[in-house]
């Protein structure tokens, strides 16, 4: 079984920019996992895109509906004390932003609990570099 961790930048790229290829890969995953942080960051990205005129009001509502559908279809990891403690550690490619460290800590802790391979979906270069350096397959 393949588990896909969906980081905020990848989900925003699908919902806001309409990356159908990445969206299809997300749909093809047997299991989807994300952080509660992803849901917040993506909702804020949709709101920002609407304010900036990159999405119409109708497109923003559609993206919000798709975000809600994704949330129902994914296992959502809480930002726990354990995640925050892990995020304080060093990463292979520094400097790393705080929110990216939370994603990477979530990925690392999730991997410890899985018996199958974990793939990371991210378009954020710092997350991609670190996830790759930590031994994860990264898409796209």
**pLDDT recorded at residue 1:** 62
Work out the angle at residue 139's Cα, subtended by the Cα atoms of residues 6 and 31, and round it to the nearest 5 degrees: 45
The mean of the pLDDT values for the chain is 95
pLDDT score of 100: 97
Q: What is the DSSP string of 85-108?
A: HHHTS--SS----HHHHHHHHHHH
When comparing pLDDT for 131 and 114, which is higher? 131
For residues 8 and 11, give the distance between their C-alpha atoms in angstroms, rounded to a whole number.
5
5 in Cβ contact with 106 (< 8 Å): yes
For residue 137, pLDDT beyond 80: yes
pLDDT at 115 over 80: no
pLDDT band at 113 (very low <50, low <70, confident <90, very high): confident
Residue 97: predicted pLDDT? 96
Report how far Cα 18 is from the mean position of its chain's Cα atoms.
16
Q: Which residue(s) pair with 34 in the sheet?
A: 76
Average pLDDT for 23-46: 95
User: To which CATH superfamily is domain 3-139 assigned?
Assistant: 5'-nuclease (3.40.50.1010)
Please give the model's pTM, rounded to 2 decimal places: 0.94
CA 46, CA 133: separation in Å to the nearest integer? Answer: 30
Domain range summary for the chain, segments of one domain joined by +: 3-139
As a whole number of Å, the CA-based R_g of the chain is 15
């Amino acid at each position: 079984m393949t588990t896909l961790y969906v980081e905020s930048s990848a989900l925003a790229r699908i919902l806001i920019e309409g990356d159908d290829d990445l969206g299809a890969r997300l749909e093809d995953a047997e299991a989807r996992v994300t952080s509660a942080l992803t849901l917040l960051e993506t909702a804020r990205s949709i709101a920002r895109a609407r304010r900036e005129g990159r999405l119409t009001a109708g497109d923003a509502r559609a993206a919000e509906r798709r975000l809600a559908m994704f949330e129902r279809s994914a296992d959502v990891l809480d930002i726990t004390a354990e995640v925050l403690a892990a995020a304080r550690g060093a990463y292979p490619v520094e400097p790393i932003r705080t929110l990216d460290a939370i994603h990477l800590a979530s990925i690392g802790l999730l991997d410890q609990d899985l018996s199958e391979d974990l793939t990371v979906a991210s378009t954020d270069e710092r997350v991609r570099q670190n996830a790759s350096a930590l031994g994860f397959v990264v898409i796209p």
